[in-house]
């Protein structure tokens, strides 16, 4: 077994102390990868029902279940969504696109149905709905992996959020979290190297006093495995092309320009309040 075949080394680029006997389900998580090439094989309705059941088995805040899922199989609708993201052509080859939505409309309707006043149109409810949807999506992804399917989350659909909302006929109180391409893999995906636990995991209190040195080590490992080509480097029109563009440089470049500046406005127009705790 090569170093990169070892679960920890594949994920981090370094070895860490893990149990000698890793359960298959956890080993599969450590080997999880995004799939961007799909075969034309169809996904049965029974398989979709199983995946959706797994999604709905996710934890949900106070059992409020403030999310919805749109399964897009119709080729015309799939192409409309894919056309919103021309930089990701694999969206057109995925036989199914699943869109995960935060949904506070349902609970508002329930309050009306039961004769109660809804008093929680606030930032916390928005966050709860977003987290509920994200947890459901992760359970869906994990189940898909176990069934030999591949997935690719697409947050970029929020760049064209009004167009997506129109395509899916989203009413007030419902907002997109992400799209998810789904299909049987036509090629192996890439195993992304993650930040070491030393950076992400804090013990007893938050401490990033060694961040610069730790990031430098990570940048070097990530670059040695997968050097970013000019096409992968962010905002080269502003910053130019680097022979060695590290992960941290690319991340800083990406977030140096505003992204999805209209998202808060979209939420406001969809009757979702982030400005205060007023209903």
In tens digits, the chain (279 residues) has pLDDT values of 445 457 788 899 998 999 989 999 999 999 999 999 999 999 999 999 999 999 999 999 999 999 999 999 999 999 999 999 999 999 999 999 999 999 999 999 999 999 999 999 999 999 999 999 999 999 999 999 999 999 999 999 999 999 999 999 999 999 999 999 999 999 988 899 999 999 999 999 999 999 999 999 999 999 999 999 999 999 999 999 999 999 999 999 999 999 988 899 999 999 999 876 555
pTM of the model: 0.93
Protein fold of 45-189: NADH Oxidase (3.40.109)
Sign of CA dihedral 123, 129, 133, 139: positive
- The predicted pLDDT at position 198 comes to 95
- The predicted pLDDT at position 189 comes to 86
CA–CA separation, 219 and 216 (whole Å): 5
- The predicted pLDDT at position 1 comes to 41
Burial 89-124 (b: 16+ CB within 10 A, else e): ebbbbbbbbbbbbbbbbbbbeeeeeeeeeeebbbee
Give the angle 105-91-174 at the CA atoms, nearest 5°. Answer: 5
- The predicted pLDDT at position 39 comes to 95
Partnered with residue 180 across adjacent β-strands are 98, 153
- The predicted pLDDT at position 190 comes to 85
Q: Where in the chain is the domain with CATH 3.40.109.10?
A: 45-189
């Amino acid at each position: 077994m090569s170093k990169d075949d070892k679960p920890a080394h594949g994920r981090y680029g370094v070895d860490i102390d893990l149990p000698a006997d890793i359960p298959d389900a956890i080993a599969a998580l450590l080997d999880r990868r995004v799939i961007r090439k799909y075969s034309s094989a169809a996904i049965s309705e029974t398989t979709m029902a199983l995946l959706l059941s797994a999604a709905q088995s996710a934890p949900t805040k106070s059992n409020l279940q403030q999310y919805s899922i749109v399964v897009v199989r119709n080729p015309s609708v799939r192409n409309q969504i894919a056309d919103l993201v021309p930089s990701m052509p694999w969206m057109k080859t995925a036989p199914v696109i699943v869109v995960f939505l935060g949904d506070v409309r349902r609970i508002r309707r329930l309050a009306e149905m039961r004769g109660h006043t809804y008093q929680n149109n606030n930032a916390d409810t928005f966050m709860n709905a977003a987290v509920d949807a994200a947890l459901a999506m992760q359970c869906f992804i994990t189940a898909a992996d176990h069934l030999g399917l591949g997935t690719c989350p697409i947050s970029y659909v929020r760049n064209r959020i009004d167009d997506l909302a129109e395509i899916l006929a989203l009413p007030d109180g419902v907002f997109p979290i992400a799209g998810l391409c789904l299909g049987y893999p036509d090629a192996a995906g890439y195993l992304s190297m993650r930040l070491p636990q030393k950076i992400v995991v804090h013990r007893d209190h938050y401490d990033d006093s060694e961040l610069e040195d730790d990031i430098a080590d990570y940048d070097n490992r990530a670059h040695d495995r997968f050097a970013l080509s000019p096409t992968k480097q962010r905002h080269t029109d502003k910053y130019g092309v680097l022979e060695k563009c590290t992960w941290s440089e690319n991340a800083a470049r990406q977030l140096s320009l505003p992204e999805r500046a209209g998202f808060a406005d979209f939420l406001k127009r969809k009757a979702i309040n982030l400005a205060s705790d007023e209903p």
